Chain A
């Protein structure tokens, strides 16, 4: 079973990399980009075959390592 974790910065946490990307997009002529926030996607290949159990395990992984709850939020997607 595969899972995908999206790690994003909490709102209110300044994202200097996102700001730099936004600036660069403006330089390239892409107007109207009001904001850019950069995050991470982590793909996991799991031995678990039960979707509910897999999701619980991945959420535990997020809390313990994959995301830093001080600055980041996460969401989990279980793929068939």
Chain B
């Protein structure tokens, strides 16, 4: 599996994400700077990491989504490429329009940083096939703006199409329908607020996140 991680000024989970890709695949992940205009050839998956790109100025992810490399990421996704956006990466993906809806200030107004329990809502994606539908997993969140907003119609459609990837068991931020992560229509773009790359090593507290990276590697080995 050939992976790349996009790095913006203010990204702070880029290295953790690269380590997660590398451990699962055994191959080095390419770090791609936001001012680059092209991606490395032959990529299977692009990761958009957590952090505070451009200081969250204007809106979270708004400036990053208009950076030169994001044009290449959108083209990659539109050609059927796989893109994983975590936390700020999810915010960036909604700002590019690759994923619907938006992320707003947590309903409790506070930054929330803790391990939380998620339910895996679908195993039908390259990101979640090593999980089981209905499985309960523990993954950390760390965000101030993770309140997923979608119209009732959109939320119902995401659910009906099986595009809700993860839900919160105890909603920490006010997200509509407890949504923690969603898939694009072709199921190849995943955005999620929780950080699977942060529970990817037993010595760091757990390995529930590592299954996501194993899912990806399995998908691209058999593909």
Interface residues of chain A, those whose CB is within 8 Å of chain B, are 13-14, 16-17, 20, 64-66, 68, 70-71
Q: How far is the CB of A56 from chain B (nearest CB, A)?
A: 20
Q: How far is the CB of B179 from chain A (nearest CB, A)?
A: 14
B101 within 8 A of A: yes
The residues of B that contact A71 with a CB separation of less than 8 Å are 102, 104, 149
B133 within 8 A of A: no
Asked if residues A65 and B62 are in contact (CB atoms below 8 Å), the reply is: yes
Instruction: Provide a sorted-by-A list of 25 A–B residue pairs whose CB atoms are within 8 angstroms.
Output: A13-B104, A13-B149, A14-B104, A14-B107, A14-B174, A16-B104, A16-B106, A16-B107, A16-B108, A16-B109, A16-B174, A17-B105, A17-B109, A65-B58, A65-B62, A65-B66, A66-B58, A68-B62, A68-B95, A68-B102, A70-B94, A70-B100, A70-B102, A71-B102, A71-B104
Interface residues of chain B, those whose CB is within 8 Å of chain A, are 58-59, 62, 66, 94-95, 100-102, 104-109, 147, 149, 174
Residue of A nearest to B63 (CB): A65
Complex alpha-carbon distance, A49 and B62, angstroms: 28
Task: Return the 7 tightest CB-CB contacts between A and B, nearest first.
Answer: A70-B102, A71-B102, A16-B107, A16-B105, A16-B109, A20-B109, A68-B102
Residue of A nearest to B108 (CB): A16
The residues of A that contact B94 with a CB separation of less than 8 Å are 70
Residue of B nearest to A38 (CB): B105
Complex alpha-carbon distance, A14 and B100, angstroms: 17
Residue of B nearest to A69 (CB): B102
